[in-house]
Amino acid sequence: MSTRIGITGAAGRMGRNLMLAVGEHTDASLGAALERQDNPFIGHDAGELAGSGRMGVALQDDVDSALQGLDALIDFTAPEATARHADLCARAGVPLVVGTTGLDTAHLDALQKAAATIPLVYAANYSAGVTLALRLIADAARALGDDYDVEIIEAHHRHKVDAPSGTALRMGEVVAETLGRDLARDAVYGREGQTGVRDSRTIGFETIRGGDIVGEHTVMFAGLGERIEITHRASSRMTFARGALRAALWAVTQPPGLYDMEDVLGLKRSG
C-alpha cells in the first residue's frame, strides 16, 4: 500500500514540484493538496496545477480534515502557517516534513513541541548535495580554524521573499558551531560605505536575487595566499521536492522526534 502524502501550499512553485515528485514515486500517492481559502484553484484537480494530467485529488483548504486520511504531510508555506500545521499534525498523529524558511524562535518552538508527539523533519534544504556540503563545510572550518575568513554568497530567483536564504543561514550556523562563534553576534549581512577593517570573527553574508535562479550557495574560506570554496548549485526544484518526499517516506517509520536531512540520509556521526 502506498504512503498517502499531503502537500500544503500545493499551488506554489514547490507545491507543484512536490506533487510531481509524489506522482513519479511508486511507493507514494497524493492524499491531499492544500491551499489557503482564497486560492482561486480551490476545487480544481491537483493535476491541473502540476501539469501531469488528472490526479483525482481536488485542491482543498481544510487541513484539519485532510489529515485524517494522510500518512504524512509536507509543508513548504509560511512561518505562521507552518507553526499552525505542526500543531494540527501533532493532534492528528501525522508525521510532518517542514521546508519553510524564515522561522523565528517562536515558530521553532512550535516545531519542537510537535516533535514530542510525532516524527518531524525540519531542514533548510532537502537536497542531498546540500546536506553533504554542510558536512564538508564543518570539516573545512575545523581544519582551517580562525586563520581563514569566512564569507557566504547565495543567489535565488526574484520571487524569494526572505534573505539570506535558510540554507545560507544554516551554513553560517555550521561554521559558527564548529569554530565556537555566535552567529547572532558575528554575522554581517552585506557591506556598504566605510566598513573598517574586517573583524576576523566575522561570518559575512551576501545575497543575490534575480531571474529564475533556483538556488546557488558558496562558502568561501579566504586565507593568506589561498582560497577554498565549497559551492552547491541547484538547477531544478525537483531536487528539493524529491528530497522532501524521501524525508516523508523515512519519517513514517520513525518514533517521535525532531530530525533533519542528515538523519534521513544516515549521515549523523555517533558520539
Residues in contact with 65: Cβ distance below 8 Å, sequence separation at least 6, in sequence order: none
Q: Is residue 270 part of a domain?
A: no
Are 117 and 256 in contact by the 8 Å Cβ rule? The answer is: yes
pLDDT, tens digit, 9 for 90 and up, residues 245-270 = 999 999 999 999 999 999 999 987 65
Q: Give CA–CA dist 191/196, Å, rounded.
A: 10
Same domain for 8 and 119?
yes
pLDDT, tens digit, 9 for 90 and up, residues 194-243 = 999 999 999 999 999 999 999 999 999 999 999 999 999 999 989 999 99
Mean predicted lDDT score pLDDT of the chain: 95
Nearest-Å Rg of the Cα atoms of the chain is 19
Same domain for 216 and 246?
no
- Residues annotated as catalytic (active site), given as ranges: 156, 160
Same domain for 55 and 119?
yes
pLDDT, tens digit, 9 for 90 and up, residues 91-129 = 999 999 999 988 999 999 999 999 999 999 999 889 999
Residue span of the structural domain in which 188 resides: 128-234
pLDDT, tens digit, 9 for 90 and up, residues 147-159 = 999 999 999 999 9
Structural domain tally of the chain?
2
CATH of the domain at 228: 3.30.360.10
Mean pLDDT, range 123-146, rounded to an integer = 95
Block residue for cell numbers 486520511: 69
The x, y and z cell numbers of residue 176, run together, are 559558527
CATH of the domain at 100: 3.40.50.720
Same domain for 230 and 143?
yes
What's the whole-model pTM score?
Answer: 0.82
Same domain for 175 and 201?
yes
pLDDT, tens digit, 9 for 90 and up, residues 166-190 = 899 999 999 999 999 999 999 999 9
Handedness of CA 136, 139, 143, 147 (dihedral sign): positive
